[in-house]
Structure formats: structure tokens, C-alpha cells
Structure 1
């Protein structure tokens, strides 16, 4: 029997999709202005172990820095401009720590899907530290964050550090053994590339006792298909297109 699911269907990708610089507090504020109450973010570690928000292993695309983000201490990462690449409006927007975002979400009653996005070679450590901080920040809260990752090692680290926090396996392809890995990791959900979902996969996930979420859904036809399949969650960039009340 699948446990009750405390999360809404609609989840804003990296805060507000492409309308604001991803994984910045400005993006989460904009997503909230569009009515979203749950967000997805990416978390990795600085060289001194501070979880911060960034998708790519390297800094160039979304900051004015250069090289691998995870090799720098937080004191240097905190100085970077994470908004100017997007538009002049957001120039000077800093990289947030996971703690910054946690405080924002907790203060406003928002829910969070934290994708553990380790710098290559730090999978287990990143999963462990992110889960430890999430457990501490959300202690006593009715609805904890959902921890997800493409990296089984990262989820294993999270499972060891905070087994009570819900975990989800991210899948871009249905690689051999994914179901066994998800079961071993105690995952409560699968988060798949939306094109992977069909009735058979939904049935398989349900048979494993897992919920069904999709990324990154930016077209109405795709959302309608996923809703018709009975899936549980839709992660979207199009906070301006989809009504999260729908």
C-alpha cells in the first residue's frame, strides 16, 4: 500500500524555470509569485563542505566564475554573481546556500525537492551532508523535503545519514537494474524524464510502492498525457504557463 503523498502535483524547476536565474533566491521568489508552493533545486558541496545551490559541475554557465564549483571554499563562491548571466535585472544575485533556501521555504510554508547534484567523485559525501543538513533544518516539520538524485551513491549517503527523509531515484533512461537499486535505497518515488512514462511503467512503479514524477515538462500536451496516466508530480520550467492549482 502506497503511503499518503504530501506533495502537490506542480513543482517549479530550479525556482522559476528560465524566467529568473536558476537556483537563486530571486528565482524561488518569482516562482512563489506565480503561485507555486513546491520547488526543485540542485545542491552540491563547496570544498569546505557547505551545501550550496548549483546545477552544473562548472561555474561558467550560471555565474561569473570559472572552473569547478566544488573545488572552491564557500567564502569564494559567496562572492560570485549568479544572476548577471541571465539578465541585467538580476545582476549581482548571489549563489544561495541550501540553508538560505531552507529558511525561505520554512518561513513561507513551501515544500522542496532537493536534487543531490554532486561534483564527480563526491557522491556519497554530498548525499550524506545534504541529508544531514536537511534533517536538521526540517526537524519537527510535518512535511520533509524530498531528496532525489541520478547517483545511487549519493542516495546511499543520504539513506545512511537520514534514513527517515524520503528519497527518489532520478532516471533519464531505464538502465538495467534500476528497480532493484530503487528498492535497495528505500526510494518512495521515481522521477523520470517525462518521455519514459507509459501505462506499464506507471504500473511497475506503483507495484514497487513508489510515486511517479516527471521532469522537465514544458508543453501542455505532455502535461495532459502525464495527468491522464495518473502520475503524481510534474516538474516544470513554465511557471508562467501552468497553474499550480490545476
Structure 2
């Protein structure tokens, strides 16, 4: 397999438990714990601006309600995305992918962008995110890893910017996933840690892909995955695991 440019430990949604997920504040908290690679969720505003948000709606993690993709970025960018977490983060706003790119590039951090389209916008989101990432990371030593549960989004990203690395996200071993990952030219499979066993990992790696696991927050599965040859771990527990090297240090 080609050399893998990404750190072993990846902070999920920034540091999405200690700070409001998918905000620059969460990225800063993760960086403060020594993390140098981050995962985030990206979707499109009504006017096509890629920004960070996990859910299709604003309800859970902001002060507003309704479908996020129905609002323009000028409106989304002013929404409080921190007060739901704690008073200390009141006023923290939804970040654009462009702002996150600037943060990562200025600090030399790696990024796993999960393409998280609003239902029905899979292809458009994959295309726009890939084009934006290629533009903002142009010439960077490490390009962002684009991942998604949605093959249509990855296919659109592949068509728009074939040189960007891609990964298929899986929460179960559905029929045809392996052939799908190969057809999409994926460099990795990112699976829920509960479905992984050594045979599945060996099959993926034998095909020239890396294996990453999400969301690993407890030492026991982390130790087992490390011993089994996993290539990367995505975690919320940035205050529990030391991100130096491939070992599990709590």
C-alpha cells in the first residue's frame, strides 16, 4: 500500500464531547489535547456554501429549528451553535469549510471530511465539497480525506476531483460494499468498530485499502483494534487517549 499520510488518532467532530461538535472551538480543544487530525461533517447551504453540521436539521446543536440546507450561508453563519453545549460556548457559530481549511492549513493539521448531504443532495454535495477542498488545499503536503456513507456523494467527488483520496463509511457489512469501495477508488474503509474483525480488516488491507474505525471511546476496543493492525482510530475521547503514535495511551 502507498504511504499513509494521516495521523493514527483522529478527533471526532473536533473534540465533539468537550466542546460543541463541528465548531472551531471543538477543533481548538482537540488541538489543545495534542491531536493533529480531525474529522468533521459537511453539507451545503441553500446557496451552495459547504459548512459544518452533522444533522439535516438545526434542532439538536443550534438555537434554531428547521432544515439547515433551506437557509443561505449569510443566515446560517450567524446562528449560535455553542450554547446548547454549555454556557462557556454561547455565541460560537457554525463554521464554513473554508474557515476550517484555513485553521488546518495554518496549523499543519490533517482533516477527514465526512460528506454529510441533506437527503436528496448527495451528488451536489459530493461535487461541491470535492471542488472546494481541491481549491483550498491546492499544493498542501497532505490533502483532506473525503469519506461518506453515500456512494452517490463519493462518486460525484471522484468525478469532480479524482485525485482527492476517498473512503467509504460503513455501519454494517451490506451487500456489495467491497466492490463499491473498489469502484469508487477508495483508499480506505472507515467502519463502525463493532462490526470489525480480523478477517474483514485483512481483506480490506489485502486489496490495498486502509482500515479506520469509529467511534472508539473506550480502552478495551482500542487495544484490540491496535493489536489487530487497524490503520486509524476516530475518537470523541480526546481527554482519555494520548494521540502520540499508534499505541493506546490513556
TM-score by length of 2: 0.97
Paired position in structure 2 for 1:170: 169
* Cα deviation 1:7-26 (Å, max 9, x = unaligned): 11100000013000000000
CA contact (8 A) 1:43 1:51 kept: yes
Paired position in structure 2 for 1:116: 115
Secondary structure of the 1:191 match is: strand
**What does 1:43-192 correspond to in 2, within 5 Å?**
43-192=42-191
Deviation at 1:81, TM superposition (A): 0.2
Large movers: runs of 4+ above 6 Å: none
Deviation at 1:78, TM superposition (A): 1.0
Secondary structure of the 1:41 match is: strand
* Cα deviation 1:148-183 (Å, max 9, x = unaligned): 000000001110111000000000000000001100
Deviation at 1:142, TM superposition (A): 1.2
CA contact (8 A) 1:14 1:27 kept: yes
Secondary structure of the 1:243 match is: coil
Unmatched 5+ stretches in structure 2: 246-250
Unmatched 5+ stretches in structure 1: none
Secondary structure of the 1:180 match is: helix
Paired position in structure 2 for 1:222: 221
Secondary structure of the 1:42 match is: strand
Distance 1:14 1:243 in 2: 17
Deviation at 1:101, TM superposition (A): 0.2
Secondary structure of the 1:127 match is: helix
Deviation at 1:196, TM superposition (A): 1.3
RMSD: 0.6
CA contact (8 A) 2:58 2:67 kept: yes
Secondary structure of the 1:52 match is: strand
Deviation at 1:205, TM superposition (A): 0.2
Secondary structure of the 1:201 match is: helix
Paired position in structure 2 for 1:236: 235
Secondary structure of the 1:115 match is: strand
Secondary structure of the 1:206 match is: helix
Number of matched residues?
Answer: 245
Paired position in structure 2 for 1:35: 34
CA contact (8 A) 2:16 2:22 kept: no
* Cα deviation 1:39-98 (Å, max 9, x = unaligned): 000000001000000000010100011111011110111111000000000000000000
Paired position in structure 1 for 2:248: none
